[in-house]
Structure 1
Amino acid sequence: MTYDVSAVRAQFPALATGTAHFDGPGGTQTPLPVIEAIADALARPLSNRGQLLPGERNADAIVVEARRAMADLLGTEPSGVVFGRSATQLVHDFSHTLAATWSPGDEVVVTRLDHDSNIRPWIRAAERAGATVRWADFDPATGELTADDIRAVLSDRTRLVAVTAASNLIGTRPPIAEISRLVHDAGALLHVDGVHYTAHSAVDVGHLGTDFFVCSPYKFLGPHHGVLTARPELLETLRPDKLLPSSDAVPERFELGTLPYELLAGTRAAVDFLAGLATGASGTRRRRLTASFAALEEHEETLRARLDKGLATLDGITVHSRAADRTPTVLMTFDGRSTTDAYRFLAARGIHAPSGSFYAVEASCRLGLGDTGGLRVGLAPYSNAEDVDRLVTGLADFLGE
Structure 2
Amino acid sequence: MSHLAVVKLRAAFPALRESGDKKPFIYFDGPGGTQMAQQSIDGMMAYITGGMANLHGAFPTSVSTDNLLLEGRKAVADLLHCAPEEVAFGQNMTTLAFSVARSLGSFISSDDEVVVTEMDHRANVDPWVTLAKDKGATVRFIELNTDTYTLNLDKLDELITEKTKLVAVGMSSNVTGTVTDVKRVIARAKEVNAIVVLDAVHAVPHLPIDFQELGCDILFCSTYKFFGPHIGIAVIAASLFEKLQVYKLAPAPQQIPDKLETGTQNHEAIAGLIGAITFIEQLGEGDSRRARLKSGMQRIEEHEQELTARMDSFLRQVPGLKLYRAAEGTYKTPTFAFTLPGIKAREVSSWFAEHYNMCIADGHFYASTMADKLGVNPMGGWVRIGLAPYNTMEEVELFEQGLQEFIRTRVRQ
Offset of 1:51 from its aligned partner?
6.0
Q: Which residue is 1:301 aligned to?
A: 305
- Asked if residue 390 in structure 1 is aligned to residue 398 in structure 2, the reply is yes
Listed one character per residue, the Cα deviations across residues 44-87 of structure 1 (whole Å, up to 9, x for unaligned) are 12212236311111101110100000001111000000111000
After TM superposition, the structure 1 stretch with the greater mean CA deviation from structure 2, 103-112 or 313-322, is 313-322
Query: 2 CA distance for matches of 1:387 and 1:23?
Result: 13
Which of 75, 80, 85 is equivalent to 1:74? 80
Offset of 1:368 from its aligned partner?
2.2
Query: 2 CA distance for matches of 1:2 and 1:303?
Result: 13
Whether the 8 Å contact between 2:30 and 2:386 is mirrored in structure 1 is yes
Whether the 8 Å contact between 1:100 and 1:129 is mirrored in structure 2 is no
After TM superposition, the structure 1 stretch with the greater mean CA deviation from structure 2, 184-193 or 367-376, is 367-376
Offset of 1:149 from its aligned partner?
4.3
- Gaps (5+ residues) in structure 2? 18-22
Q: Which residue is 1:23 aligned to?
A: 29
Query: 2 CA distance for matches of 1:370 and 1:312?
Result: 22
Secondary structure (helix, strand or coil) at the match of 1:377 reads strand
Query: 2 CA distance for matches of 1:273 and 1:222?
Result: 10
Which of 363, 369, 388 is equivalent to 1:362? 369
Listed one character per residue, the Cα deviations across residues 205-240 of structure 1 (whole Å, up to 9, x for unaligned) are 112221100000000001101001011121001111
TM-score, L = length of structure 2: 0.94
Structure 2 residue identity aligned to 1:98: L
The correspondence of residues 365-380 of structure 1 with structure 2, limited to 5 A, is 365-370=372-377, 372-380=380-388
Whether the 8 Å contact between 2:142 and 2:152 is mirrored in structure 1 is no
Query: 2 CA distance for matches of 1:291 and 1:66?
Result: 20
Q: Which residue is 1:58 aligned to?
A: 64
Query: 1 CA distance for matches of 2:89 and 2:35?
Result: 21
Structure 1 residue identity aligned to 2:292: R
Offset of 1:163 from its aligned partner?
0.5
The correspondence of residues 224-263 of structure 1 with structure 2, limited to 5 A, is 224-263=230-269
Structure 2 residue identity aligned to 1:287: A
Query: 1 CA distance for matches of 2:317 and 2:153?
Result: 34
Whether the 8 Å contact between 2:362 and 2:381 is mirrored in structure 1 is yes
The correspondence of residues 254-273 of structure 1 with structure 2, limited to 5 A, is 254-273=260-279
Query: 2 CA distance for matches of 1:99 and 1:69?
Result: 30
Secondary structure (helix, strand or coil) at the match of 2:180 reads coil
Structure 2 residue identity aligned to 1:361: S
The correspondence of residues 87-102 of structure 1 with structure 2, limited to 5 A, is 87-102=93-108
Structure 2 residue identity aligned to 1:380: A
Whether the 8 Å contact between 1:63 and 1:264 is mirrored in structure 2 is yes
Structure 1 residue identity aligned to 2:373: R
Whether the 8 Å contact between 2:81 and 2:209 is mirrored in structure 1 is yes
- Asked if residue 345 in structure 1 is aligned to residue 346 in structure 2, the reply is no
Query: 2 CA distance for matches of 1:312 and 1:132?
Result: 40
Q: Which residue is 2:20 aligned to?
A: none
Q: Which residue is 1:200 aligned to?
A: 206
Whether the 8 Å contact between 1:146 and 1:174 is mirrored in structure 2 is no
Q: Which residue is 1:158 aligned to?
A: 164
> How many correspondences in the alignment?
399
Whether the 8 Å contact between 2:218 and 2:234 is mirrored in structure 1 is yes
Query: 2 CA distance for matches of 1:282 and 1:64?
Result: 23
Structure 2 residue identity aligned to 1:296: I
Structure 2 residue identity aligned to 1:9: R
Secondary structure (helix, strand or coil) at the match of 2:204 reads helix
Secondary structure (helix, strand or coil) at the match of 1:355 reads strand
Which aligned segments of 4 or more residues in structure 1 are displaced greater than 6 angstroms?
A: none
**Shift in CA distance, 308/214, structure 1 to aligned 2, threshold 3 Å:** same
Secondary structure (helix, strand or coil) at the match of 2:145 reads coil
Whether the 8 Å contact between 2:316 and 2:323 is mirrored in structure 1 is no
Q: Which residue is 1:9 aligned to?
A: 10
Taking only aligned residues, the RMSD between alpha carbons, in angstroms, comes to 1.4
Query: 1 CA distance for matches of 2:71 and 2:242?
Result: 22
Query: 1 CA distance for matches of 2:59 and 2:73?
Result: 22
Structure 2 residue identity aligned to 1:381: P
Whether the 8 Å contact between 2:143 and 2:152 is mirrored in structure 1 is no
Query: 2 CA distance for matches of 1:145 and 1:13?
Result: 38
- Gaps (5+ residues) in structure 1? none
Which of 40, 44, 48 is equivalent to 2:54? 48
Which of 77, 99, 107 is equivalent to 2:113? 107
Query: 1 CA distance for matches of 2:133 and 2:316?
Result: 46
Listed one character per residue, the Cα deviations across residues 136-170 of structure 1 (whole Å, up to 9, x for unaligned) are 10211111114324333111110000100001111
Secondary structure (helix, strand or coil) at the match of 1:332 reads strand
Whether the 8 Å contact between 1:45 and 1:54 is mirrored in structure 2 is no
Listed one character per residue, the Cα deviations across residues 159-216 of structure 1 (whole Å, up to 9, x for unaligned) are 0001000011111111111211100002201000000000100000112221100000
Query: 1 CA distance for matches of 2:283 and 2:6?
Result: 9
Query: 1 CA distance for matches of 2:318 and 2:106?
Result: 53
Query: 1 CA distance for matches of 2:152 and 2:110?
Result: 28
Secondary structure (helix, strand or coil) at the match of 1:163 reads strand
Query: 1 CA distance for matches of 2:261 and 2:145?
Result: 38
Q: Which residue is 2:147 aligned to?
A: 141
Which of 283, 292, 297 is equivalent to 2:296? 292
Listed one character per residue, the Cα deviations across residues 218-271 of structure 1 (whole Å, up to 9, x for unaligned) are 000011010010111210011111101111111000001011111001001111
Offset of 1:283 from its aligned partner?
1.4
Whether the 8 Å contact between 1:214 and 1:228 is mirrored in structure 2 is yes
Query: 2 CA distance for matches of 1:105 and 1:317?
Result: 46
Query: 1 CA distance for matches of 2:51 and 2:350?
Result: 45
Query: 1 CA distance for matches of 2:171 and 2:342?
Result: 33
